[in-house]
């Protein structure tokens, strides 16, 4: 896949969405700095020059609309593998979109897609990795970390190349199988969302439950206090620990 580097952009995700809307072909876009980096749930993603990795993929997957959100989980698996390969650091996955080290967030994933004739026209999937930060603003200092703070010494280009390589490998399997089944076991072995008391935050609805891991549809299974098992789809949901971020 074509890999393009640029110095500065509002958001690599937004730029690829613009390109996709005018017929852009699959590619990777990496920026040194983002002026309006976007996070999940309408948040901003602070993207100072050179501190983080700001990278997005434009994809045109021939899959059903329901399967498109699984690409975020695939990116999580790929980023876990790539970070390990390039830095030696072992991350964990926090369903659906975060990578964590010792309970603190080191990377986040953001996907956008548009539908045409009942099929995904394109999917843009972006990842932001905290690489070289040596401190964070007070509001997020307790929940955020960087690869450098976690003791990693690595070369930025190696990490970029590893992410592209790992993502392509996982993505090809996913597209071939059209299913998350082949990844479920691996995901559950890497996620912090197994056997943990969590708070599920949906728009207008918040409740506690015991998380059990993901199923073959990539949904998080939780056991409610009534013992009923509920499968949660990603979308506008966030899952937090009862006492903190995980």
94 part of the interface to ligand BTN, by CB under 6 A:
no
Q: Which of 17, 20, 28, 37 binds ligand BTN (CB under 6 A)?
A: 37
Nearer to ligand BTN, 58 or 190 (CB): 58
Binding string, residues 44-63; x marks residues near ligand BTN by CB under 6 A: -x--------xxx-------
Residue number of the CB closest to ligand BTN reads 108
Stretch that binds ligand BTN, among 9-17, 87-95, 210-218, 232-240 (CB under 6 A): 9-17
DSSP output for the chain: --EEEEEEES-HHHHHHHHHHTTPPSEEEEEEEESS-B-GGG-B----TTTEEEEEEEE---S-GGGTTHHHHHHHHHHHHHHHHHH----EEETTTEEEETTEEEEEEEEEEEEETTEEEEEEEEEEEE-S-S---HHHHTTB--TTTTT----HHHHHHHHHHHHHHHHHHHHHHTSSHHHHHHHHHHBS-EEEEEEEEETTEEEEEEEEEE-TTSPEEEE-TTS-EEEE-STT-EEEESSS--
Q: Is 136 in the site for ligand BTN (CB under 6 A)?
A: no
**Cβ distance to ligand BTN smaller for residue 171 or 212:** 171
Closer to ligand BTN by CB, 43 or 197: give it: 43
Q: Is 12 one of the binding residues for ligand BTN (CB under 6 A)? A: yes
């Amino acid at each position: 896949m074509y890999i393009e580097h640029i110095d500065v952009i509002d958001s690599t995700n937004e730029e690829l969405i613009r390109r996709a809307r005018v017929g852009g072909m699959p590619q990777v876009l990496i920026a040194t700095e983002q002026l309006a980096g976007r996070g999940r749930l309408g948040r901003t993603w602070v993207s100072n020059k050179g501190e983080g990795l700001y990278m997005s993929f434009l994809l045109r997957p021939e899959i059903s609309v329901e399967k498109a959100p699984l690409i975020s989980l695939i990116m999580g698996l790929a980023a876990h593998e790539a970070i390990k390969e390039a830095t030696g650091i072992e991350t964990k996955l926090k369903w659906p979109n975060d990578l964590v080290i010792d309970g603190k967030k080191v990377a986040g994933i953001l996907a956008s897609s548009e539908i045409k004739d009942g099929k995904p026209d394109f999917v843009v999937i972006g990842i932001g990795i905290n690489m070289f930060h040596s401190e964070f603003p007070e509001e997020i200092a307790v929940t955020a970390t960087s690869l450098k703070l976690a003791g990693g010494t690595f070369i930025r280009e190696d990490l970029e190349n590893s992410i592209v390589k790992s993502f392509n490998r996982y993505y090809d399997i996913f597209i071939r199988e059209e299913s998350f089944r082949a990844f479920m076991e691996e995901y559950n072995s890497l996620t912090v969302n197994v056997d943990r008391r969590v708070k599920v935050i949906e728009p207008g609805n918040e409740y506690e439950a015991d998380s059990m891991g993901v199923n073959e549809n990539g949904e998080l299974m939780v056991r409610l206090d009534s013992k009923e098992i509920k499968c949660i789809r990603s979308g506008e949901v966030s899952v937090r620990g009862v006492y903190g971020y995980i």
